[in-house]
């Protein structure tokens, strides 16, 4: 996690399916395989963001899901790339 200009950049190297992306795995790079990654955006109000973007046509995998230190959901851009949209709830204050 890196703080830049009053915002946070979070690097996610990989991970398996979770309740908010049940059929999707992000895998580490291995020579000869597909490289997979996603952009991670943090917003102040995830529910409002989800409702506004969905009303404008955004395609979300699931509604926002509370995961303790964050509330998050995933969407796909028009080219099919994954974008995580989340709201930190305790992570930045050291509460997990």
Q: Where are the domains of the chain?
A: 2-93
CA distances for 81 relative to 11, 24, 94, angstroms: 16, 12, 30
Cβ–Cβ < 8 Å for 65, 20: yes
Task: Please determine, for residue 93, whether its predicted confidence score (pLDDT) is greater than 70.
Answer: no
CA distances for 19 relative to 31, 55, 82, angstroms: 29, 23, 15
Q: How far apart are CA 34 and CA 67, in angstroms?
A: 28
Cβ–Cβ < 8 Å for 72, 85: yes
Task: Please determine, for residue 62, whether its predicted confidence score (pLDDT) is greater than 70.
Answer: yes
| pLDDT score at 19 | 87
| pLDDT score at 35 | 41
- The residue among 18 and 8 whose pLDDT is bigger is 18
| pLDDT score at 33 | 46
User: Which architecture, in CATH terms, is 2-93?
Assistant: 2-Layer Sandwich (3.30)
Q: Would you call 10 exposed, middle or buried from its count of C-beta atoms within 10 A (0-12, 13-18, 19+)?
A: middle
Task: Please determine, for residue 23, whether its predicted confidence score (pLDDT) is greater than 90.
Answer: no
Task: Please determine, for residue 24, whether its predicted confidence score (pLDDT) is greater than 70.
Answer: yes
């Amino acid at each position: 996690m890196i703080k830049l200009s009053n915002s946070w950049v979070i690097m996610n190297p990989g991970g398996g399916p979770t309740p908010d992306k049940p059929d999707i795995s992000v895998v580490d790079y291995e020579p000869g395989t597909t490289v997979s990654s996603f952009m991670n955006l943090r917003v102040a109000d995830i529910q409002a963001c989800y409702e506004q973007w969905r009303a404008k046509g955004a395609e979300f995998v699931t509604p926002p899901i509370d995961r303790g230190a964050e509330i998050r959901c995933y969407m796909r851009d028009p080219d099919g790339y994954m974008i995580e949209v989340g709201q930190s709830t305790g992570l930045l204050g050291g509460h997990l």
